[in-house]
Structure 1
Amino acid sequence: MHRFWDTIIEPAVKILRPESILEIGSDLGTNTKNLLAYCGKNNAILHVVDPVPKYDMAAWQKEYGDFAFFYKSLSLNAIPKIGRFDLVLIDGDHNWYTVYNELKLIEKCCLQSSMHFPLVMLHDIGWPYGRRDLYYNPENIPEVYRKPCKQKGISPESAELLEEGGLNSHLFNSIYENNLQNGVLTACEDFVEESGQKLEFLTLHGLFGLGIIFSRHLSHQNKELEIFFEELEVRTAVKRYLERIEKARIESELLLCNKKDELKKVMSEGKERINELKGQHEERINELKGQHEEKINELKGQHEEKIEQIEGELKKRALEVKMLGQW
């Protein structure tokens, strides 16, 4: 989400002036730092949810504990504990079940608190996970909502998972695309359509896509925010142009991924060859050591035999000398 900070998130934050922010999916904490800076200056509260953050969450809690709360938990477990939020940023588990139920829980919390639906921004509504589920941990998703998935790569040129290469081949990607209850974009559309509240859904192309869900009440109440949303909307021709740019960017990223995979393969083969050569060298060294030890033992045996002969001669001479002395 940090890529959208300067152009989308920060301008919206300055207009909205949220008192409570919920961030779902913190990863390295890059965008979290932006939110912490805002909350620290504006007496706002930040709630950060991530089951596997790539930083020391306890240390951050200690440093920012006056206005920030960190939850090392799944979002669906954490949201009900938080209750109130004016702005929600979602970049967590990119699958229909998780995103749809995150939105449902947000709506439920608002209804229970007699508050209007907050401003919600969601990453990855475009390809590849707009219409295809991703599961960081498939076991977290109820079986009835979990699509068959495999750790295989994906490409915009194929609806099928790739046997080799592709994007995110190390992750559990749904083998299906574009079917019911599949993907982040589908989850957003289903939620907005089913919600009893009057909601708007704005989609932005580029950087895997950004979705913005907000209530009509919010935009009507805040004219500056309404104008900001209107400025984000683009005409069909421009959308096609942006889609083409995104396609080219993704192609470049896929090329980079494939090159990385090739390099990893070459490095792996190189390591195997090195280990093989090491084994051969160690075997040859041990063989030479064995041959040298045999030669050394042979020479040692010959020397010991020679010494015994000499000692025998010396004893014989000593005896002769002794006998001569008796005369």
Structure 2
Amino acid sequence: MTRTTPARPVSVEALFPELAPYRGRTTRLHPRPGRPGMRDSHVGGPMLWPDGEPWPLCREPHQPETEGYVPDDIRSARASGAWPRSRPWPVAGTPGEDGPVPFVGLAQFFRRDVPGLVAGPDGADLVQLFRCPFTHGRHLERRYRLRWRRAVETERAERFLAAPPEVPLLRWEHELPEPCVLHPEEVDTYPWAEDDTLPAPLIAAIDAWDDAQSAEHGSDAPSYQFDLSIPPGWRVGGFPSWASTGPMDIDCETCAAPMRLLLTAGGDEMDAGSHSWAPLEDRDPSLQGKASILGGPSVVNPTRLRFGRDRDLHVFTCPADPGHPPQWVLS
């Protein structure tokens, strides 16, 4: 099934013609629980990984834990609509606390499936995203990894990994992604309006319009940031949202070139402020607003993943050389 973003509550360029030169495109991925295969673009499904190729491992020290969840317990609980019970860590401590830990495969995207996905190093057209399941250091930092591939060459492998290695316990239930199929859809997008992301007079006009809408319509008023600029959820390309941190300059640590947004992994596909982006196919046409949204968790948080304190994970790459190390920003 396709997913169709409703028309915006108002035409943003009719309100602010000065925004036309800043219009961009982003591909909303619309993940929904399903059974993706290893040759599909997906979140949480099986990776296209040649058998015999080492699975990525995190070799840094990890924070010790006291309890956690068995991956199979999480899967069983989700299937029954229940919550998994936690278990104590083994007496020896956190699995992998003193040794390597296998990364969790979060997602993979083929350029053939996802409009707007840029090429990787040497023309790579398949990107795979991983996260260490444990935290690091006193600030509980996370570690991510990208793996770029050429899809045609990878698909020629004689055998593929049937099941990746897993840690016996995960600290949180939301460390395990739910397998999701994708429904890519390109939509218009506009920059976050704060600091110097747009000309100061234009930001002032946007802020004034937001204030007037709020005064007239209260909590149901449309706003630029929530309804007109950047859609929530998983998406490729476009502009980063800066709700938690404020705008940041992200430059390549290797060559100092300004980096571009490769993809955004979102914890939720919508929240109380961004429900206007919910696709038409996930709505009851006889109802209005938030009350019209169908599907519960499978629509609001289909992947079951969380990033930081319900923030977006922005993955930036270097346009001058995609082989330079990416940067990860929670915002």
Q: Structure 1-normalised TM-score?
A: 0.20
User: RCO greater where, 1 or 2, for CA within 8 Å and sep 6 or more?
Assistant: 2
Which structure has the larger Rg over C-alpha atoms? 1
Higher strand fraction: Structure 1 or Structure 2? Answer: 2
Higher helix fraction: Structure 1 or Structure 2? Answer: 1
